[in-house]
Amino acid sequence: MIPVFRNIVPCLILGVIIVTGFSSCSNEKRLAKGKPLRNLNANQVLANFEAAEFQWDWIGMKISVDVESPEGNQSFKATVRMAKDSAIWMSISPALGVEVARILLSPDSVQFFSKIPGNKFFYTGNYDALSEWADNPLEFVDVQAILGGKPMGLDAENGKYIARTDVQRYALVGRYKRQVKRVIGINDNALTPQDSLNIQLPTRRYERLRNRADDEDLLIQRHWFDGITFDPLQDQFNDLYHQRSLTLNRSEFEESDNGRFPRAFEVLIRTMDGDLKMEWNVSRIRFGRPYDFPFTIPENYEQRTGF
């Protein structure tokens, strides 16, 4: 059995490489002739993405961030350091370059301190306060995916998706539960990538259904990939339970020895209380270099239970 197994493994690897190369090359020729992308099923889209996926163990980068919200607009710069699956460290500064906040995330803890005059405090705890502040459930893997250029919430091993072609992109639509069909009026097989999702039920029926459902029962996720490079271009989450949505866009992908990494990001959160838009651009980036994560809480800072 062992010799057979040894032959199968390289053949499988070679097969993935051939399929990936064929899909990209074939699609490039098809698009040049004005033809649509080849039809691929969800497993094929995921296999192509994983074959081209950006790989990293350490990342250090400087980013410039712009935020638009109902409370006003602001801009700042941040230095980001990440050790994969272990730590995320950020130092935040306004335009003048003086640090105003620092954060250190591990898979199960959040540490933060603010140095803003009149608002000096620190927080040490779990992700509940961070999720409440962001008005969205957040875990370490989510923040790592967002900053690391990976699809957020994509479960290649256990997720169930339907593949669609969308002009020059592939879209994966997460299969959803029967409760969603009742709310929006169509099942997942009929949902197209760009369909807007509106609640079709009368208010009272919707409220009764929501009272019997959990948050995740009324969640729809969609992911878009470039039809040639399989870059992860966009993630979208429609939360029909709380009537809000989150869209994450990535662009300006740049080649490196580790793969293609996006240099421009945009997050748009829409809620019943207003919209929040955050954009950031990577001005400098380095891969593969181990970093320290200095984090010492200044003396005489107030401890708080939230942000």
Residue 110 lies in a domain: no
More confident site: 97 or 30: 97
The residue assigned the tokens 């990936």 is: 20
Taking the C-alpha atoms of residue 178 and residue 50, their distance in angstroms, rounded to an integer, is 30
pLDDT at 10: 39
Taking the C-alpha atoms of residue 300 and residue 288, their distance in angstroms, rounded to an integer, is 37
CA distance readout (Å), 307 to 9, 71, 96, 277: 50, 16, 23, 19
Residue 93 lies in a domain: no
Smallest Cα–Cα separation from 131: which of 105, 162, 161, 158? 105
Taking the C-alpha atoms of residue 42 and residue 159, their distance in angstroms, rounded to an integer, is 10
Per-residue DSSP letter, 116: E
Q: Is the pLDDT of residue 183 over 70?
A: yes
pLDDT at 71: 84
Q: Is the pLDDT of residue 195 over 50?
A: yes
What global pTM score does this model have? 0.83
Instruction: Count structural domains, the chain.
Output: 1
Residue 294 lies in a domain: no
Angle, helices 42-52/2-32, rounded to nearest 10 degrees:
100
Average pLDDT for residues 208-226, to the nearest whole number? 90
How deeply is 233 buried, as exposed, middle or buried, from its count of CB atoms within 10 A (0-12, 13-18, 19+)? buried
Residue 177 lies in a domain: yes
| Rg for the chain, CA atoms, rounded | 22
Look up residue 174 and give its two tokens.
């997460």
Q: Is the pLDDT of residue 9 over 50?
A: no
Residue 159 lies in a domain: yes
Residue 256 lies in a domain: yes
Residue 144 lies in a domain: no
pLDDT at 18: 33
Residue 254 lies in a domain: yes
In terms of average pLDDT, the best of 77-86, 124-133, 156-165, 200-209 is 77-86
pLDDT at 32: 53
Structural domain for 40, as ranges:
11-54+149-287
pLDDT at 167: 80
pLDDT band at 23; cut points 50, 70, 90: very low
